[in-house]
Amino acid sequence: MHETAYSFDISYMTLWRWVRKYREGGKEALRTKKPAYKKSWKRLSKSIEKKIMFLKEQNPSLSVSRARQLMRRTGIEISNKGIWNVWTRYGLSKRSIKDPLNPFGISAPESEDGIKRAKMFVHNGDLRAAAKILNNLPSMPKDPVIEKIPEKLLSLRRKLDRLYLEVHKIPYPQYLRKTRRVRRVLERKGYIYSSVIANFLELMALDAMKKPQEQIKVLNLLGRKMRRVKDSSLLFLFYFQQASTFAYLLKLKKAMNIVPKCRRYVYRLPQPYYWGTFGSLLTAIGNYKEAFRYYKMAFEKEKDREHSEHLAICMALHGYSMAGEYSHGNRILDTVQVLKDRPMSGTTYSLARAYMSFGQANLADASQFYLEALNKASKGELYNLLYATSVGLAAVALAVNKKQEAKIYLQKYLPLIKKQRLAGNELVMKVLLGLVATVPREFTLKPPLHLLNLLLRAHQTMKIGDYRKAFNHAKKHALLGLFHRCIIFFPEPVLHLLEKGKHTGLPRAILTLPIFDQKIPVYHIKFLGDLVVSKNQHYMRTKLTPKEKAFLIHLALKAHAPGKFIILHDLYQNFWPHSTDPLNLIAHLITKIKKKIQLPSHLLTIASRYGEPKLINNGIHITTDHSEFEVLLTQIKTLERVNEWQVMLREYVRAVKLFRGAPFEKMYDGWSENMRRAILNQLELEAINLIKVCSEYKNLNPPRFLTTAKKVLKKVSKIIPYSEEIIHFLKNPH
């Protein structure tokens, strides 16, 4: 019994009493019946309690002794303990250190009884009666029952409770509007303490939407309310929001002056929540090395599964992927199960996976994870994701020597980033495009921007010493992963070192990318129309049979990168389902294709070790116009969600231009038929979506928009002449 009690973390005597009760009366004896809640006769009247509560609401910095003096002036004598108890009942004291913005009160018999009765009324469909019970409670413990009651039936304090539960559950613009509305009413009615919590929730929404100018206004208002407040947790959060906002605006000196204040409060609040939050602040100012230490401390002490997974994602994204420790990063991401598909966390998870894949030279996987991050992103974070994915996809394109495509990725979204006043992101994109000769000196206080400046200088001077400075700076500040992603945009110093036979410091996987090893063949297969094959950016004049074309497309879509493979059985079933010797046929076909597209024979081999026989890609990169089409479709959906109609239509034009006719012409194998049908269905669905956009936003669409849309749909109608929706729109575009 001692061992059992210890394993469940309960007292031995408690377990002994339970066992005795069970032996005497069975399960019924273990069921304790709680008496109905009765208000203590010692409790003050509700009107006096409300006066005491309102003193603290009006003045968040008010002390217990000062409140006692004010109550004495009104003729009411009450002890310090009595005032403290009232504030505790109303959720104004004894606040959770682990969750400082939690407006809910502690669990008490009165609140538990009220919630129990409210749930009963909710179950019976009487939401008004349930709301009345909850509104009359001084404060309520955290319970989802409040989400089942319409907002209009709730009191101001209960509306604030409900807002806290809705964080990350509703779109940020909608959440911001609701929070502002509640905060203004709280201020107007004198509930300043509660309005401070509402201000912090407002800042969370603005931070997710990346609106730093508006954050500054809210912070100024919050600063006036929090004068002389001594709550360490709220003061820490206030300084954290100030510093991170200044860092985002690249006001780095101001941000760094506030960081020591935050650090002081972190030591007073030794909890995983504050370590993790402080880590995110250090990330904002570019101190990834120290940030990782705080994330790790929080991760090791955090017991909650979801919080632990969130910290694991932060460690992967801001620690391992930045430091270039990709194996460690992938291992910790493998532990994330609950949050990888959630809004916000899921986006960060996919972005971390993209960085890891790129660092290990898995370019196809990196592209896929970038698109996955865009698909998961909530509306408030889309502009930041457009920046991160456009830079990431540009790096992937450059890695296979597609310079023009990389330039387009950066150029097309630079105006949007500029429009949103994302100063740091705009600066980075301009540097990568070669529009800025040097990073301004005041911005080099941030280690990643200083690294970018050092790489820019090494690119300009081509001095080995300047390259070494950049590399050593990255190593010192745990930024080698960022160095690997950025050096793709400035490859000349690395190529110079390789020519001289000198050490570059880059991992072998990065050096095997085509941008650094020109011997590696890169094929581009266009099959959205007649098949076109290019090798290392040069068009190849070659004649392939329909079966050879189908096989090459199959290879391009399923084994498009080194290490990828196709199970031979799948090829047999598709191309030679009735053959008695398919291996000989496939070997003969591969030999002919290798000759026609000038592919070194050792780079595409058949191996039967470790399981089923496979066709293995040993070192060629293959890109397709279909992958470009999928990227454009993902970006189109993203632009539609942020109402960027003109840019969205421009992307539609790019997507449709990729089609030079119907794909898989004269290819009749089963796989080609299925792929043709899938691609044409996808094209038709996107065309119908464009029609919906035109019809739903008639007032926003100028004549030029409709004219361009009509041209796009005319081209689609030539490829898919049987689509009724497209034909109907072309006849009646208005």
What is the Cα–Cα distance from 247 to 623, expressed in whole angstroms? 39
Q: Which of 64, 69, 67, 94 is nearest to 81 (CA)?
A: 64
| Residues 246/254, Cβ–Cβ less than 8 Å | yes
**pLDDT at residue 699, rounded to an integer:** 56
* Sign of the C-alpha dihedral computed for residues 634, 640, 643 and 644 taken in this order: positive
| Residues 208/380, Cβ–Cβ less than 8 Å | yes
**Strand order from edge to edge, sheet including 614-617:** 565-567, 614-617, 604-607
Quick: pLDDT tens for 577-631.
888 888 899 999 999 999 999 999 899 998 876 678 899 999 899 999 999 999 9
SS3 522: strand
**pLDDT at residue 261, rounded to an integer:** 92
Q: How far is CA 294 from CA 198, 205, 211, 299, 336, in A?
A: 27, 24, 26, 8, 19
Residues 6+ apart with CB under 8 A from 66: none
What is the Cα–Cα distance from 457 to 466, expressed in whole angstroms? 7
What is the Cα–Cα distance from 395 to 325, expressed in whole angstroms? 19
**pLDDT at residue 10, rounded to an integer:** 80
**pLDDT at residue 32, rounded to an integer:** 65
In terms of residues, how long is the chain? 734
What is the Cα–Cα distance from 254 to 250, expressed in whole angstroms? 9
Query: Nearest-5° angle of CA 673, CA 676, CA 682?
Result: 140
Mark out the alpha helices in 124-211 (DSSP H runs).
127-136, 156-165, 172-188, 192-209
Residues of the chain with pLDDT under 50: 37, 41
What is the Cα–Cα distance from 341 to 364, expressed in whole angstroms? 20
Q: Which of 414, 476, 421 is nearest to 448 (CA)?
A: 476
Q: What is the reported pTM?
A: 0.83
DSSP 589-605: HHHHHHHHTT--GGGEE
Residues 6+ apart with CB under 8 A from 215: 203, 206, 207, 241, 245
DSSP 246-304: HHHTT-HHHHHHHHHHHHHHHHHS-SHHHHHHHHHHHHHTT-HHHHHHHHHHHHHH--S
Angle between helices 288-301 and 305-315 (to 10 degrees): 160
What is the Cα–Cα distance from 146 to 130, expressed in whole angstroms? 9
H or E element that contains 614: strand 614-617
